[in-house]
Amino acid sequence: MSLLSRLGLGRPQHPVFARNASYFAGLDHQRPIEEYEFVVFDTELTGLNPRRDEIVSIGAVRIRGLRILLDDTFRAYVKPFHPLPKDSTLIHRITPQQLEAAPPLREVLPAFIDYCGNSLLVAHHIGLDVAFLNKAAKTLYGSPIHNPCLDTMRLAQAYTEMRWEQYHDRFRMNVSYNLAALSAEYALPPFTHHDAFEDALQAAYLFLYLVKKMRSEGVVTLKDLFNAGQTWRWIM
């Protein structure tokens, strides 16, 4: 295989990725948050290093009108190229037997991007998930994913800061931004941890909780939400 082929160059763009790039060319950030569609997702991995580890599961759920659509979800196991490390099985409980008949990422990734469509992507600590998705997308199809992204961890940090500025919980120094800890703190429904679909549901409930709380603080448009998620400051 030539270097150009390995880099995804010198070949027609996959139609799913061509559509993906076109969706967000003129995205209007000024509309109310409830007018946008979101896909909240999670991945299970063989490890945390995008250079050598792989995706073994993707789970996602759609939010429309600030409501979770439980009849419109995405779940897929992914057969990794390399043998599944035993340590990763202990974390996500996915066994080699479960992955033996699973499709490779070359098949799963276009299906997931097609499912996302023109939705904005949401995840907890989303940078890690997107790093793995973009590495695979660039390697297999020569194109990154273009969906704008929101991180529930950063939104939670921004919301905590808003509460501190109003003297609520001002002296709590042990705030945890772990997905499970935040969900417990806000009394959200509990789901199974380290399962891609269940973690996506957990993050979806957290996202809706934060959006609804932050709207009362003036975060009402998509631009407001992006600004809140990108300009948080560490609370020391």
pLDDT digits (tens, 9 = 90+) for 138-188: 999 999 999 999 999 999 999 998 887 766 555 555 779 999 999 999 999
pLDDT digits (tens, 9 = 90+) for 184-210: 999 999 999 899 999 999 999 999 999
What's the mean pLDDT in 81-109? 87
Answer yes or no: are the C-beta atoms of 5 and 138 closer than 8 Å: no
Q: Are strands 120-123 and 55-64 parallel, antiparallel or unpaired?
A: unpaired
Residue 13 has pLDDT above 80, yes or no: no
Mean pLDDT computed over every residue of the chain: 88
What does the alpha-carbon distance between residue 198 and residue 40 come to, in Å, rounded to a whole number?
11
Banded pLDDT at 29 (limits 50, 70, 90) = very high
What does the alpha-carbon distance between residue 34 and residue 209 come to, in Å, rounded to a whole number?
13
> What pLDDT was estimated at residue 172?
59
Place of tokens 């569609």: 37
222-230 helix and 196-215 helix, angle to the nearest 10 degrees: 110
Interior CA angle at 216 toward 212 and 222, to 5°? Answer: 65
Banded pLDDT at 5 (limits 50, 70, 90) = very low
Residue 110 has pLDDT above 70, yes or no: yes
Banded pLDDT at 129 (limits 50, 70, 90) = very high
Share of the chain above pLDDT 70, in %: 88
> What pLDDT was estimated at residue 232?
41
> What pLDDT was estimated at residue 7?
40
Residue 25 forms beta bridges with which residues?
none
> What pLDDT was estimated at residue 224?
96
List, in sequence order, the alpha helices (H) in the chain.
3-6, 15-23, 86-92, 96-100, 105-116, 126-141, 152-165, 179-185, 196-215, 222-230
Task: Please name which of 53, 47, 50 lies closest in space to residue 82, comparing C-alpha atoms.
Answer: 53
Lowest-confidence region among 28-32, 119-123, 227-231: 227-231
Share of the chain above pLDDT 90, in %: 70
Non-local (6+) Cβ contacts of 199 within 8 A are 42, 59, 124, 179, 191, 193
What does the alpha-carbon distance between residue 16 and residue 142 come to, in Å, rounded to a whole number?
12
Banded pLDDT at 6 (limits 50, 70, 90) = very low
